[in-house]
Structure 1
Amino acid sequence: MGTWIIDAIATRHDRSGFSCGQPSLDEFLQTRVSQYQRRNLGQTFVAVPQGEDANNHRVIGYYTLAASAVAFQNLPLVRSRRLPKHPVPVVLLARLAVDRAHQRKGLGEGLLLDALQRTQAIATELGIYAVEVDAIDDSVAAFYTRYGFAPLLDQPRHLFLPIETIDRAIDAAS
């Protein structure tokens, strides 16, 4: 792990100066995340520098998880062969962003791994087939494919990672 702590978002977290280079991701964190939390539409987890003043946690990265489903016809044949022909339950990695000052330092990977571990924990209590992500552009899609995400059939940047792959990766790392 890096020199940050990942925790569920709370009012103590300072989101005001966050800038990742994608206005929609900045705007979500700064103005809409509280509504999503209150309405239980997604759960957001933030990274703050380790050792920061406990009353002023500056957010340097975040991700949001939500429940979702992937249409059966969007799964590659190798994955859909033994599944019932209805929507497949997944965890949607709705957003993942790192502040510009902290990019290319391993924080994106740290956030992704934390999200995958949380998903694995959820999957012990609830049926989850995979993690789903809609990459905002090709470079973001390339980031996810480095970690084993594969495209769904509806569009090349709509990606998924089966829970069995997550289980194997986490077991291998233990």
Structure 2
Amino acid sequence: MSFDFVFVPVIGTEDVQLERFSCGNEPLDQFLKQEARDYAEHGITTTTVVWVEGDMASPAAFFSLSNDVVRLTGGETGELGLPFLPVTNNFPAVKLTKFAVAQAYQRTGLGRELMKYIEGMVFVAKGMSAVRLLTLDSLPEDHVLNFYASNGFMRCEHEDRQRRHQRRRQTIPMFKDLYVAP
């Protein structure tokens, strides 16, 4: 199935439209409805609301993006295949801070298409600012982890090791290398 999307910044979206959104995860629903505008207005994260062309009754999805940095160990830096030894272990990234698909569109392929769109947006932005990785913090649920893994994301082992001392991990750090060799 293929979708034609309409993208609108959360700041340009009416409250009544946002109230109709439900992905089945209450914290994500509440973020969109109650917090996303504040985060955008204060420069913390930008949220984009997504509709499917022809179905403008309620949003089909939303995602939020922020700048990020990933600190890699020497061995992890080597896995990036750089032809030189960088003087930093901090690599530029964009973080997918929120990603949710409305229940009506889950398991339709919409999420996979949106991931491709987001990667394309980030890749195009590379012309304005350096970015190597797309990062996210996944919920520790198998179906969520499997979705991200099927879209090319891998667990960030270095970050994951640092969080193991926590009794109950609320999220699992993941990344995708966006580098395309010329």
TM-score by length of structure 2 reads: 0.79
Q: What is the CA RMSD across the aligned residues, in angstroms? A: 2.5
Matching residue of 1:159:
174
Q: Moved runs in structure 1, 4+ residues, more than 6 A? A: none
**1:74–1:152 CA contact under 8 A, matched in 2:** no
Q: CA 1:86–1:74 in structure 2 vs 1: closer, same or farther (change >3 Å)?
A: closer
Aligned residues between the structures = 164
Give yes or no for contact 1:49–1:58 (8 Å, CA) kept in 2.
no
SS in 2 for 1:79: coil
Deviation (angstroms), 1:3: 4.6
* 2:139 aligned counterpart, secondary structure: coil
1:140 counterpart = 2:144: yes
Relative to structure 1, the CA distance from residue 74 to residue 103 in structure 2 (aligned partners, 3 Å threshold; closer, same or farther) is: farther
The secondary structure found in structure 1 opposite 2:144 is: helix
Corresponding residue of 2:68: 68
Tell me, in whole angstroms, the C-alpha distance in 2 between the residues paired with 1:80 and 1:51. 44
Partner in structure 2 of residue 35 of structure 1: 38
1:122 is displaced (CA, Å) by 1.0
TM-score (norm 1): 0.82
Which of these two proteins has the greater Rg computed from alpha carbons?
Answer: 2
The one-letter amino acid of 2:79's match is: V
Q: Corresponding residue for 2:27?
A: 24
* Contact kept in structure 2, 1:72 and 1:80, CA below 8 Å: no
**Residues 62 and 111, structure 1, Cα contact 8 Å, conserved in 2:** no
SS of residue matched to 1:155: helix
- Maintained 8 Å contact 1:96/1:111: no
Counterpart position of 2:52:
49
Structure 1 CA distance for aligned equivalents of residues 134 and 147 of structure 2: 15
Q: 1:11 aligns with which of 10, 13, 26?
A: 13
- Secondary structure, aligned partner of 1:15: helix
Same amino acid, percent of matched pairs: 21
